[in-house]
Structure 1
């Protein structure tokens, strides 16, 4: 069921989103060559708790952690690991969901580790731009397909990269995964019509090579995660947003100057 949020609910979701954005801002100083991906998990847990919130991913379908930390060709849902030491040139994606007073927010960000290649910089730039092109289509009266078409056209036709199909955005609140599904591919003018008060995530995942992905299991067979099928590098950016009569408004912004036109 798709729920239309009240002004109060949106305000509460924005407060949750501010906590989540704070984690991502803090990670800019944490992520560097020589740390383990477990240090990302530890920082996120501490920051979320200090701000009176809880990590929604912990305990979801048996997941044990506050964050998903996916490195290089890992597309999504990889676990934080003490033995995984980040090195110069890596790209790391940190995805997490925060609950504050019963209100959810969801965001993923890609981080360059030390000095990265031109390919990594270009991949990150394209993926972030794709996110905002999708957000620009999230207006009252547009359709879900308008979001996906804008992302797919930019990623595949204009930049010849792989636009992941299997993992998609979604509605959010009262739980972290609600209807509607929000694919990052599709046909303009098709799909569910967007209405004022809907809250969704847009979260394109882009591979340098093929759009196809493969699943892998952790060594103890306790968790499934995804890698690019051809071993190419992957990036992801995600925001939680609300559809308003004044356009899409981002609830997980890390940069008020950059996102000025998207703020409540």
Structure 2
């Protein structure tokens, strides 16, 4: 699906709107998690911990994001680019991440799962919808109303990484949190490339959700022998993404130029 330059929106895209949505998302997730006070490092210990520590906040934020996107009339530009990247080879980075994902799943101690933990893990898939719609969806729409595409990539990936800083406020040590922020910046670049090459955010939502599903699974029980290889492939994918992102940005014409809101 393509988006025409003449498309109109219920609310005109603005940078500040995208930033406010991003900040509100972080605040809602953090606020709901604080209600139960489960430390981030304990999320993977049981199904109830995972649901109350992460799943419930994702359900609430998914509902609020869907309402917000509908009221703004931003579904199409949030989910679809006007044009796909002319350079396709950077899709190698997301492909490597898929391979790492498969290795993660192969290394998961499925015998340690019970029904409650598996159900909570399924809810965790919502993170692909919520975090992608927030950062590489609605935030992108706002930023594209004013900024060049290189800034759109840099800011959305950086803010995606920085949102993980709240994990230090919910029990995770600062060292692992900083490492997580850096890896998330790299993963955000991979998801951005996937959007630009396919022309759709939906594939990034799917990959993101499955990736978090696999990483929390590794923390439950005893990981198998492919655990380290999956982590190594993730780093390689990020390096490839940092090289390839310049190519998917080159020639991008995604600036949103709508000048007035629609009445419907």
- TM superposition score normalised by structure 2: 0.27
Larger proportion of helix: 2
- TM superposition score normalised by structure 1: 0.27
Query: Over alpha carbons, which structure has the higher Rg?
Result: 2
Larger proportion of strand: 1
